[in-house]
A and B are shown apart, each in its own frame.
Chain A
Amino acid sequence: EAQVTQNPRYLITVTGKKLTVTCSQNMNHEYMSWYRQDPGLGLRQIYYSMNVEVTDKGDVPEGYKVSRKEKRNFPLILESPSPNQTSLYFCASMSGRPTDTQYFGPGTRLTVL
């Protein structure tokens, strides 16, 4: 089954404790992206990647890091989480065709205390 998976689905952590949210897709997609969803703000793009070793900033990249060492994986790294990063995070993937649509993962709900 074609899918985007994220782990963990739920995470409660404390300020300053480094964490990684993993994202994996099995569709051989070139493009992957991370978003955060906050009430009243909709989805905002954090980072995206056009292919292995190619990443670029979205609208809200501060406080986040990403890497794309393999085509199928695109982890989101919070080096020193803060409470304002409490949010619902979505990973998405898409083929390289510019007219294609994004496929979203189930989401990761992160709480930073």
Chain B
Amino acid sequence: AQSVAQPEDQVNVAEGNPLTVKCTYSVSGNPYLFWYVQYPNRGLQFLLKYITGDNLVKGSYGFEAEFNKSQTSFHLKKPSALVSDSALYFCAVRDIEGTYKYIFGTGTRLKVLA
């Protein structure tokens, strides 16, 4: 069965420091992987995705993520955090061979401190 784990409920980082939000996944075949961000009282917004190809994926707002097949991970990163990056981040997976069922992680709240 598909699953996604976001092991940290909250990540605190100082403004200007690099940030990492962790995600590991489990699928039976090859995955499509996604990161979404949710700002307060808003719907989810797409950040980036891994479909195939280069393991380092660049997305919106300076975020990037690295697909690591051997560790089944897809960690979200940003070289220099902004206070405005504070939000709730969700990792999601879809089995490329399977149906259009999506599995989301439980979310990680990122708090960037000024």
Contact = CB atoms under 8 A, between A and B. Distances in A.
Interface of A: 4, 31, 33, 35, 40-45, 48, 50, 56, 58-59, 90, 92, 98-99, 101-107
Nearest to A6: B43
A107 B39 CA distance: 12
B106 A41 contact: yes
Contacts of A101: 34, 46, 49
18 contacts: A4-B43, A33-B102, A35-B104, A42-B90, A42-B106, A43-B107, A44-B104, A45-B102, A48-B100, A50-B100, A59-B101, A90-B43, A90-B44, A98-B96, A101-B34, A102-B46, A103-B46, A106-B42
Interface in B88-110: 90, 92, 96, 99-107
B105 A31 contact: no
Contacts, number: 58
B101 A48 contact: yes
Interface of B: 6, 32, 34, 36, 42-46, 49, 51, 90, 92, 96, 99-107
Contacts of A33: 100, 102
A59 B94 CA distance: 13
Contacts of A103: 46
Contacts of A41: 106
Contact of B51 (A45, A50, A99): A99
A105 B52 CA distance: 27
Contacts of B34: 101
